[in-house]
Amino acid sequence: MSQVNVKTDKEAFLNDLSALIAIPSTKDASQAKEGAPFGPGPLAGLEKMLEIGKRDGFRTKNLQGYAGYIEYGPEDAEDYIAVLGHVDVVPATGKWAHDPFTAYVEDGTLYARGAIDDKGPTMAAYYALKALRESGETLKHRIRLVIGTDEESGCACMKKYNELEPMSLFGFAPDAEFPLIFAEKGQIRAWINLPQRAEEAPVHLTDFYSGERINMVPDHAYAVLEGPEAEQWSAHAQAALTAKNVPFTAEKTAQGLKLTVKGQSAHGSEPAGGVNAAFLLAGALQDLPLAEAEQAFINFLADTLNNDFGGARLGIAGHDDVSGELTVNAGVIRFDKTKGGTVSLDIRVPVKLSLEDIQATLTASVEKLGFSIGELGTSKPLYMDQKHPGVQILKKVYEKHMGLKDVELLTSGGGTYAQYLDAGVAFGACMPDYPYTGHQVDEHVKVDDLLLASAIYADAMAELANLEK
């Protein structure tokens, strides 16, 4: 088995990673244009990685701003191994101890948005590619570090990449946990709509706002009330929040009486790990004498969705013996007095269940409540044979570095770019003994863990570069 001599310059690594982290590369559809399909931030992240690759003498290519790649190996090789990282990040909501877009290192731990999801691991993979080149290892296949820009919002970047580029022989996404994830749940992303109707009521819900991304548990929510009895019923809601020890603020605005509550963010694939602020606020508003459509919206949050992370009340609960339970996250919730309400659901479906059956049941349940399904998207599950030669190579490389034998491979509710490969898995970079903090406030990772991951990736690339068809 190959062993690439990795002598990573920690200072250089942190300098490059800090420059990438400094780019607030969240998607901004309002500024999308040709060459920047997800707005200026993700494009700037892509350009920074390609700039670093070009600086160091690698072949690089920008694929219409959707994605790009940094490549090493025999240019005339028929096949390539894909290493799929992404530079887009979720919004840095909540109260951070330090600026989330400034790399802050304390006691060997790096704090920043993107530290582990996925700028840190992507840079670790890049430095692995540098080490592989410096080693002089003989390669049969090219190694291509693919840089995506829309992983957090639907993976349109990988769909475009697969239109423009040939499929890899095998690949891995450094965007999860070690030792290796061979099965990832499928996804359904559904936007549920409720129209507004003009009705008289003692108090009206004129605005409800919670969440920024479908795949994050919302850590904040606010509602605005107006009407002849708004002040009285705002006080009632405040008392309900106080009784449940929910942090909140109340203020008078030009639009009406505004209540804001605080929850706790978490990754949308593990909604039970957070505290959904929209559910907290809806529970406090449920007793208000709202108009019918407004009440239906609040009841949907407070009764149907509230802490039902398995989807039982929607009739879609299920599990299998590979990837476990179905999960549901209500990530983006809006209500407007003229437009009505919208609730986005991020549903992670076990690999052995039918996405089509879940969609049909969800649609029927929603329509029975008087709502409708608007936009709906799906992603197929990942389910790789654990005996695949590529999977076995990654397993053995990891075991060699960690001094372990016969490690148990993992499944996940999270979806990675590996789902867009004909053959591939998610491989690190979060170590088993360290919490995964992607999408959370004060996201962090140990610097030495990233450097260890880089050494693992270098050996993995060397082995995969000679993978037999």
CA distance 167 to 391: 17
| Residues 425-449: b if buried by 16+ CB within 10 A, e if exposed | bbbbbbbeeeebbbbbbbbbbbbeb
The structure tokens listed for 262 are 């605080």
Of 328, 280, 332, 271, the C-alpha closest to 302 is 280
d(CA 345, CA 409): 29
16 is catalytic: no
- In sequence order, the β-bridge partners of residue 147 are 68, 85
Answer yes or no: are the C-beta atoms of 185 and 89 closer than 8 Å.
Answer: no
Which distant-in-sequence residues (6+ apart) come within 8 Å of 102 by Cβ?
Answer: 18, 21, 22, 112
Q: Within 300-388, where are the H helices?
A: 355-368
Whether 356 is a known active-site residue: answer no
For residue 70, the cross-strand partners are: 60, 145
Write down the H helix ranges in 165-258: 230-243
* Strand ranges inside 195-278, DSSP E: 204-210, 220-226, 248-252, 257-262
Query: In whole angstroms, what is the distance from residue 233 CA to residue 257 CA?
Result: 10
Q: Is 429 left (phi over 0), alpha (psi -120 to 50) or beta?
A: alpha
Nearest-angstrom CA–CA distance, 62 and 70 = 9
Q: Using alpha carbons, select from 8, 4, 29, 141 the residue that is nearest to residue 450.
A: 8
Contact in structure between 68 and 53 (CB atoms under 8 Å): no
Q: What span, in angstroms and rounded, lies between the C-alpha atoms of 382 and 439?
A: 22
Residue from 16, 88, 175, 177 carrying the catalytic annotation: 88
Q: Please give the Cα distance from 277 to 221 (Å, whole number).
A: 5
Catalytic residue among 16, 117, 151, 294: 151
Across 296-407, where does the E strand assignment appear?
Answer: 319-320, 324-325, 327-336, 340-349, 372-379, 382-383
Catalytically active residues, by annotation: 88, 151
